[in-house]
Amino acid sequence: MHGQMMQMPLLISSLLTHAERNHGDREIVSRRVEGDLHRYDYRGLGRRARQMANALKAHGIRHGDRVATLAWNGYRHMELYYAVSGSGAVLHTINPRLHAEQVLWMLEHSGARVLFFDLTFMPLIEQIAARATRIEAFVAMCDRANLPRVSLSKPLVSHDGLIAAHDDDFEWPPLDENTAATLCYTSGTTGNPKGVLYSHRSTVLHSLAAAQRDAFNCSAMDAILPVVPMFHVNAWGLPYVACMVGAKLVFPGPWLDGASLHELIETEGVTLSAGVPTVWQGLLAQVEASGAGFKTMRRTIIGGAACPPPMIAAFQDRHDVTVLHAWGMTELSPLGTVCSPKPGVTVDSAEDQLALQAKQGRAPFGVEMKIVGADGADLPHDGRSAGELLVRGPWVAASYFRRADEGMLRDGWFPTGDIATIDADGYMQITDRSKDLIKSGGEWISSIDLENIAAAHPAVAMAACIAVPHPKWDERPVLVIQRKPEAQVAPEELLALYHGRIARWSIPDQVFFVDAVPVGATGKVLKAELRARFSDPVAAVN
Ligand code: AMP
């Protein structure tokens, strides 16, 4: 027997319609590439998104066509989030920090017909335009006056010009909720990137889960600053969540340095922010140096890489900002877990509290997790047994774009490539990325554990732990350290931190100092690069 309820498809356009009707005058504030601060509201967003939808239609963009962006976080990007997906086309967001050849490869692979870009990326566009064979038109995300006077092989128009040429009389089509909405490629360090094709349904369900109190905890009372880029897994879904709850949105544009972020947080009354640890390092350094605090910001979501406990402590103890440590992946839209409290999980000391928050957290409804050993058998959720983390749920990818025949699932579960423990309360902790694991004398060593210990030293800006080959033990851990500006610390002092805290055999053998730990396009440490550089420790020192 069927239930007798309405069949309303879960559509991205309905998020915008909801925001326009119920939170029409809530603000969206953006620092623009032009250098100024732009402000309008959900009503303005709705109007311009519909105008843009008409412009796309006039260009002949049809259901399922891909429209690409190379853009920072800002209102024009937000307009495309809704105009493109809402009208049934697919928004392909590209990470502009990737190499030009990779950008070109993804454009060819996705077959995008139009490419929107922020003016910052004009040189990149000039570099790739002639070879981007599938692109029919380039759109600079600016007004007509700022349109660059360059000649490309294809037409170049302005975003605002397109909008001005069309009225806002547009009805969002009643799509099937399983229609593709957005496309984002994983930032794989080897091989070609893999595309994850999200649907309207997966996006709306993900937004419902992400907005929850025990997840990102979002409300109409919030002013949200997504520092995590809109080109990286849809800024963790925050552009959708904000419409869903009617929160104010604050976009930083290209200015991600500590001083710019802090100014924006203070002047716009930001209550919640989200980003990777590397970005928060800049912000913390800024507030600690200037002595300024946070008047309104009370929560920050940190994920994308393990959040070092000293960062959690700094935000919470010194600035009264609660850290929500989260784990996710491009393949998971991205939300997998958030470390939020639970009754019955008691912590006796500040140290225990920090140890709990260093965990990546619990699964919201909609994400199922398990860990398996090398033989594929389930491992106990005892907080000690570490195995590969497998997940499934309605916002987890079932296959990669244009690689559906490759079968990425294992018995219906997605193998994440992360190694983790899960405790009896359901808190998951990543111990390693499988390719970053260190196996010494047959025993696994968690690189994240070792990094967290070194990161606690006040002179350390960033710590990375990698395996180097060893004739007797196969592999041994070594530390690569980036010191804070002007700070000094000797290798022995860092190594002393480990004594008495971890098994002797898992203490790193050596410490290497570098000017800057290499970080990839999405803020993750490039361990492969470090391994290549330090795998012959003798050569590395000389
Ligand atoms: P991406 O698809 O680029 O978002 O990368 C996903 C990967 O980032 C995961 O598989 C993890 O290895 C890593 N990651 C994300 N969040 C965390 C976290 N909170 N702690 C540790 N690793 C994380």
What structural domains does the chain harbor? 12-214+225-246 (3.40.50.12780), 438-533 (3.30.300.30)
- Please name the residue whose Cα sits nearest to atom 21 of ligand 1: 306
- Expressed in angstroms and rounded, the spacing between residue 336 Cα and the centre of ligand 1 is 10
Q: Distance from the CA of 525 to the center of ligand 1, in angstroms?
A: 11
Q: Please work out whether the CB of residue 360 comes within 6 Å of at least one atom of ligand 1.
A: yes
Residue 334 CA: nearest ligand 1 atom is: 4
> 512 CB contacts (<8 Å, ≥6 apart)?
478, 479, 480, 481, 534, 537, 540, 541
Distance 11 CA to ligand 1 centre (A): 27
Q: Catalytic one among 439, 443, 493, 505?
A: 439
Q: Evaluate: CB of 418 within 6 angstroms of ligand 1.
A: yes
| Active-site residue (options: 266, 444, 473, 475) | 444
439 is an active site residue: yes
Average pLDDT of every residue of the chain = 94
Q: What is the pLDDT of residue 538?
A: 47
Is 444 among the catalytic positions?
yes
Tell me, yes or no, if 133 is annotated catalytic.
no
- Ligand 1: nearest atom to the Cα of 524: 8
Flag the least confident range among 47-51, 69-73, 453-457. Answer: 453-457
| pLDDT at residue 250 is higher than 80 | yes
How far from chain centre, in Å, is Cα 367?
18
pLDDT at 539 over 50: no
Neighbouring CB atoms inside 10 A of 339's CB total 25
Whether residue 186 lies in the annotated active site: yes
Q: How confident is the model at residue 542 (pLDDT cuts 50, 70, 90)?
A: very low
- DSSP assignment letter at 114: E
Q: Calculate how far, in angstroms, residue 236's C-alpha sits from the geometric centre of ligand 1.
A: 12
Mean per-residue pLDDT for 267-284?
A: 94
Confidence of residue 188 (pLDDT cuts 50, 70, 90): low
How much of the chain exceeds pLDDT 90, in percent? Answer: 83
SS (H, E, C) 266-322: HHCCCCEEEECHHHHHHHHHHHHHHCCCCCCCCEEEECCCCCCHHHHHHHHHHHCCE
Predicted pLDDT at 191: 64
Helix axes 42-59, 12-23, angle to 10 degrees: 140
Please tell me which of 169-183, 190-204, 462-476, 521-535 the model is most confident about, judged by mean pLDDT. 169-183
pLDDT greater at residue 418 or residue 192: 418
- Which tens digit of pLDDT belongs to each residue from 50-102? 999 999 999 999 999 999 999 999 999 999 999 999 999 999 999 998 889 88
Rounded to an integer, the average pLDDT of 383-402 is 97
145-165 confidence digits (pLDDT tens): 999 999 999 999 999 999 999
For residue 48, name the pLDDT band (cuts at 50, 70, 90): very high
Average pLDDT of the residues in 454-467: 94
Q: How far is CA 455 from CA 301, 309, 448, 462, in A?
A: 19, 8, 10, 6
pLDDT at 541: 42
Q: Which atom of ligand 1 is nearest to the CA of 448?
A: 21
* Chain Cα centroid distance, residue 498: 31
Confidence of residue 470 (pLDDT cuts 50, 70, 90): confident
- Ligand 1 centre from 126 Cα, in Å? 33
Question: Which protein residue's CA is at the shortest distance from atom 7 of ligand 1?
Answer: 329
Candidate of 196, 362, 430 to mutate for ligand 1, largest count of ligand atoms within 8 Å of Cβ: 430
Confidence band of 283 (pLDDT split at 50, 70, 90): very high
Q: What is the pLDDT of residues 314-371, one digit of tens each?
A: 999 999 999 999 999 999 999 999 999 999 887 889 999 999 999 999 999 999 999 9
325 CA closest ligand 1 atom index: 19
Is the CB of 333 inside a 6 Å radius of any atom of ligand 1? no
Q: Which of 418, 427, 446 to mutate to test the pocket of ligand 1 (most atoms within 8 A of CB)?
A: 418
- Residue 520 in contact with ligand 1 by CB distance below 6 A: no
Max distance between CA atoms of the chain, in angstroms, equals 75
CA 416 – ligand 1 centroid, Å:
9
How far, in Å, is the centroid of ligand 1 from the Cα of 540? 28
Q: How far is Cα 354 from Cα 347, in angstroms, rounded to an integer? A: 9
